[in-house]
Structure 1
Amino acid sequence: MSGTHPAAPLTVLLGDYPHTRPLRDGTVPVDGVDCRYPESSPLPPAFARMVRELAYDICELPMATYLMARDAGVPVTLLPAVLVGSTHHRSLTRLPGAPELAPGDLAGRRVGVRAYGQTTGLWVRGWLQEEYGVMSSDVTWVTTEDVHVAQYANPPYVERSRADRVGDLLRSGDVSAAVLGPKAIGGQGAGLVPLVADAESAGLAWAERHGTVPANHLLVVRDDVLRTRPDAVLAFFRALRTSIAETAGERDDSPAGRAVAAGWSTSLTNCLEIAGRYAQEQALIGEPVNVAAIEKPTAFLEEERR
């Protein structure tokens, strides 16, 4: 006697945010699909597992990691969702007791960053070149971790340190400034001073000028899963969109609050175009980013809304 076998669960790696908790705890179900949400704390090791081992069906992934993985031919497709984003002019810091240092003074200096492929670093180096004329190759970037994408080799102006944390590089005097993401700013970066005098206003001006908020974490799906189970991917994406909409009241009108969104939009395409340009300028990727080609495989996710 023949029968149909139930579809395998989708393994979905998501960080713990107000807009993902309803999915993770089942408050917002995924229609007709059994989703499993494995834990990873901290998240970065899971990002490496995704781009090196394809460890999950759907996975949160940093912008820079996604662009580098795509450039390296890793078989993942972007799903149009921003899970984490913010402006990053406050992410370039120095010790409070150190001599004042302007962003334009960094050429020829050493700057700490967790990994050269870290997304916060991508955005910081982008505005450094755009607004202050300091190119990535003008600085020695001192890192405490390797990049997620195994195929990538750091350029010669990147140096690996034995230090455990970026903040330690700054406090030991090994670097003049440090790039620290939003969570690190409140942890190991507590008390550090942004190099940009009015960082919040500068970040808002960047967002206004570019018509987008820098995205840090996006979402990808394995190509084979998208090809063989498009209905399951669509069901998950619908549930994610519902979860984001139903938690809108928990986000404010700050750039971080506005960044969270699901669906293709002018803001998202602008963000990808700018991040792609920055990534190529910084030698994170070799080929220009074609946003239309990125969008095409998931256009069906939006068809029901047209």
Structure 2
Amino acid sequence: MAKTITFACWDYDRVMPVMDGTVPVEGYEVCPILLKPADLFPRTLQRQEFDVSELSFSSYMLQTSRGTSDYIAIPVFTSRAYRHSSIYVRNDAGINDPKDLEGKKVGIPEYQMTLVVWARGMLQDEYGVDIKKMKLRRGATNYAGLKERLKLELPDDIDIEPIPEDKSTNDLLLSGEIDAIISPTPPDSFVDGHENVRELLGGIRETEKAFHTRTGAFPIMHTVVIKKSIVEENPDLAPKLFSALCKGRNIALANLKEISNGPANRLSIPWLQAELAETRRVMGDNYWWYGIERNRKELENMCRYSQEQYLSERLLTVEELFTESTLNLPDEF
């Protein structure tokens, strides 16, 4: 009889074949729970509600370094994104290149958010920014009231303050109380075309493509974790789930290719065929890769960023982040 496991995740095209039963996890019945990350992560981090869960990679590393994580990951990365496009500035703030962020007030949603950790690391590695000189102002981008999900212990020389609880960082950007924002979602002022707000890095698409060509990286944001107690009781679950999620990803990529080559636009994207062709030209046919070896450099960078930014209490190794049974599994593409 199949054992039931709860699996909480957002409705990504690459995960849904497992969630809807198109791709079974051999020997297990998946009970899908579809939640947006903002709703899901607190329930996983603070209440450990789910057997299997999508999780912020930064939050997972932080808890692992503290020895407080009830979960262990498999090398499946549900969310990945280039984040050069996630930095927005006021035109009158005197920020003409990334180095100019030093000494400026920069809004962020959370200090330990994976996007923010990666963006700071990228600014440091790619542009030589002394990230400790940024004056961080923490709060939600377009609404009020966001707080850090996890308790942090940062040194005194990190200049970070919460913004007023009734304000968003977009409000402060418009008023000139902060100079820039790093955020996974664009500030409303940018979306609305405000004349005094722009992306910091011009030519974003070409910048991000050049970054990939030079480094081979596709930044990791979220991973999939399983309760350690369940892994101990069911040692076959992790490799079987990894295999199923690889197959689900394969279906998503094949479907997207089929749709892009179809006789009519099933998706409301006018230039989908050209976009997909360019993505495959730059990144290859399997541009959403799983497994450790293909991702090792990115994983090592994230471990380094987490320690350098005073999140992880020590430098984590890649191997300790993932179940032993998945350490050598190749991507099934």
How high is the TM-score relative to the length of structure 1?
Answer: 0.85
Greater CA drift, 217-226 or 291-300: 291-300
Q: How does 1:105-124 map to 2 (within 5 A)?
A: 105-124=100-119
- Is 1:204 the equivalent of 2:204? no
Distance change in 2, residues 1:258/1:110 (3 Å): farther
Partner of 2:313: 286
User: Corresponding residue for 1:264?
Assistant: 292
The C-alpha deviation readout for 1:112-151, integer Å capped at 9, x for no partner, is 011011111111111211233223321111111333334x
Q: Give the total of aligned pairs.
A: 295
Structure number with higher relative contact order (C-alpha < 8 Å, ≥ 6 residues apart): 1
What residue is the counterpart of 2:272 in the other structure?
none
**Equivalent residue, structure 2, for 1:129:** 124
Aligned twin of 2:40: 46
Conserved? CA contact 2:74–2:323, under 8 Å? no
Contact 1:143–1:159 (CA<8 Å) still a contact in 2? yes
Unaligned runs of 5+ in 2: 140-145, 258-275
Deviations 1:241-291 (A, max 9, x none): 11101111327327899653332333x111110111112121121211211
Question: Percent identity, aligned pairs only?
Answer: 24
Contact residue 8 and residue 53 of structure 2 kept, 8 A: yes
1: CA distance, partners of 2:105 / 2:149: 22
Give the 3 Å change call, closer, same or farther, for CA 201–303 of structure 1 in structure 2: closer
**Alignment match of 1:277 (pick from 282, 286, 304):** 304
* In the alignment, structure 1 residue 175 sits paired with structure 2 residue 178: yes
CA RMSD of aligned residues (A): 2.7
Instruction: Decide whether aligned partners of structure 1 residues 165 and 247 sit closer, same or farther in structure 2, where only a CA change above 3 A counts.
Output: same
Shift of 1:298: 3.2
Query: 2:64 is aligned with what amino acid?
Result: R
TM-score by length of 2: 0.79
Spell out the pairing of 1:157-306 with structure 2 (5 A cutoff): 157-161=159-163, 162-163=165-166, 165-181=168-184, 184-185=185-186, 189-190=190-191, 191=193, 192-249=197-254, 250=256, 252=276, 253=279, 260-266=288-294, 268-295=295-322, 297-299=324-326, 302=329
After TM superposition, give the deviation of residue 100 of structure 1 in Å.
Answer: 5.0
Tell whether 2:78 aligns with 1:78. Answer: no
Match of 1:9 in 2: 4
Note closer, same or farther for the CA distance 1:304–1:49 as it changes in structure 2 (3 Å cut). closer
Q: Match for residue 63 of structure 1?
A: 57
Cα distance, 1:7 vs structure 2: 6.0
SS of alignment partner, residue 48 of structure 1: helix
Alpha-carbon distance change, 234 to 283 in structure 1, aligned in 2, over 3 angstroms? same
Looking at structure 1, the residues matched to 252 and 48 of structure 2 have their Cα atoms a distance apart, in angstroms, of: 30
In structure 1, the residue corresponding to 2:34 is in which secondary structure?
coil
Q: How does 1:10-49 map to 2 (within 5 A)?
A: 10-40=5-35, 42-49=36-43
Equivalent pair of 2:103/2:135 in contact (CA under 8 Å): yes
Match of 2:262 in 1: none
1-structure distance, mates of 2:137, 2:331:
47
Quick check: 140-149 or 247-256, which moved more? Answer: 247-256
- Change beyond 3 A, Cα 1:110–1:299: same
Query: CA separation in 2, counterparts of 1:132 and 1:304?
Result: 32
Q: Secondary structure of 1:224's partner?
A: helix
Q: Is the 8 A contact 1:84 1:259 kept in 2?
A: no
Preserved CA contact (<8 Å) 1:84 1:260: no
Q: CA deviation at 1:197?
A: 2.3
